[in-house]
Amino acid sequence: MTTHTTRMLILGSGPAGLSAAIYGARAGMQPIVVQGIQPGGQLTTTTDVENYPGFADVIQGPWLMEQMQKQAEHVGTRLMWDTIVEVDLTKRPFRLIGDGGDVYEGEVLVIATGAQAKWLGIDSEEAMKGKGVSACATCDGFFYRGKKVAVIGGGNTAVEEALYLTNHSDDVTLIHRRDSLRAEKILQERLFAHPNITVLWNKEVAEFVDGGGTAGLVALDLKDTATGEVSRLDVQGGFVAIGHHPATELFRGHLALDDDGYIAVQPGSTRTSVAGVFACGDVMDKIYRQAVTAAGTGCMAALDAERFLAEADFEKLAEAAE
């Protein structure tokens, strides 16, 4: 068992965690990043990225994360391949334990564990991810300009995604397995009033149909939840919008979470309910969920952490002088 100590301990290695590391390292905090189950975060499973600022041409998600990692290491970040299984946030330095028994101690902790999209869980869905099936209209809607698309879900996210897709498509279908939506009333009103959106009630996706070769998604096979009747809807894009799982189980009972399980932060900051613990990226952001906003909150977390440590160091000096 080895103990690793640092001024700034970062959990998670997506855009939020690595941005925090870059800023933290430049501030002299010698950060350690524990990479977790999915090093690089969700962008490592994304192919074409067209909306990250600074790149005129399409770039690949894994390549972007590789560049962020190299930059973080270049300025002095240590990256550790480990998965945290236990945390102690009752005192500083905060203490985290990896699944192999290694201990990580940090005077401040930045949590950037992210969130995962919920999926329907059918075999054809997995096979068609990136070939017409997506869980982020804001990320991928641009690729479906002028094409027929469908959104699966009935909550706020699904309605917002359907409305967003009308920027690119004149033929958007919302598919919901019940006969009423869970979304807020004002969103429903906007949805029903839009001439380019059709709602299919009491339908669930039985299969995402592969056109073969380079065709990608060509249709959805739908099953009526009331009658069992099967029908087919021709589409080129299918967006699963049934929510996200924030990776916060490790912190349940240790930090304040909101009603949806995201880490609660003070408005306008990344400060959590425990002084010296900061959260950034999709683990605290259920609204935007973009790589660029995750990176921005990573920067915020590092600046918040640096200010916290500066104040703590000043208080120590003041106490010693008394």
d(Cα 278, Cα 70) in Å, to the nearest integer? 23
Phi, psi of 54 (to 5 degrees): 105, -5
Both tokens assigned to 262? 């995201």
Catalytic residue annotation: 136, 139-140
**Are the beta carbons of 300 and 279 closer than 8 angstroms?**
no
Both tokens assigned to 296? 């921005």
Burial class (CB in 10 A: 0-12, 13-18, 19+), 195: exposed
Phi, psi of 125 (to 5 degrees): -65, -50
Transcribe 22-79 into DSSP letters.
Answer: HHHHHTT---EEE--SSTTGGGGG--EE--STT-SS-EEHHHHHHHHHHHHHHTTPEE
Sign of CA dihedral 265, 267, 269, 273: negative
Q: Which strands form 133-134's sheet, in the order they lie side by side?
A: 133-134, 237-240, 149-152, 172-175, 197-200
Closest by CA to 86, choosing from 110, 103, 72, is: 103
275 three-class SS: coil
Both tokens assigned to 282? 């999709």
**Are the beta carbons of 74 and 21 closer than 8 angstroms?**
no
**What are the residues whose beta carbons fall under 8 Å from the beta carbon of 156, sequence distance 6 or more?**
182, 183, 184, 187
